[in-house]
Amino acid sequence: SQQGEEDPQALSIQEGENATMNCSYKTSINNLQWYRQNSGRGLVHLILIRSNEREKHSGRLRVTLDTSKKSSSLLITASRAADTASYFCATVSNSGNTPLVFGKGTRLSVIA
């Protein structure tokens, strides 16, 4: 089963614009992670935000977490053509040892 739901499913922007992707989830979490995937193969870890954190930055990436709304957002600023990829959020439950549960992803296309 998939817990996270990314929104939108697909996003197309011009190079230099900002891209915002959202993720909603259902259960109480320990942390939420964002991953990037090129060409349907390996996933690259982007950022991990814990349930007691509200915002994190990494380079051009900014992630927010609102546990009251069970949602997170990933902002990519000043996008580049090389940012074209699928982006997934994945959650780790607060209960037990449940591994990452992924959403279906947002397909981002950055047009040069």
Partner 1 sequence: GAGVSQTPSNKVTEKGKYVELRCDPISGHTALYWYRQSLGQGPEFLIYFQGTGAADDSGLPNDRFFAVRPEGSVSTLKIQRTERGDSAVYLCASSLGGVHTEAFFGQGTRLTVV
> What residues line the site for partner 1 (CB under 8 A)?
2, 4, 30-31, 33, 35, 40-45, 48, 88, 90, 92, 97-105
Which residue, 6 or 83, is less far from partner 1 as judged by CB? 6
- Could you tell me which of 49, 88, 86 has the C-alpha nearest to residue 67? 49
Longest Cα–Cα distance of the chain, Å, equals 45
Give me the least distance between CB of 68 and partner 1, in Å please: 21
By beta-carbon proximity to partner 1, the closer residue of 22 and 31 is 31
As a whole number of angstroms, the distance between CA 91 and CA 93 comes to 6
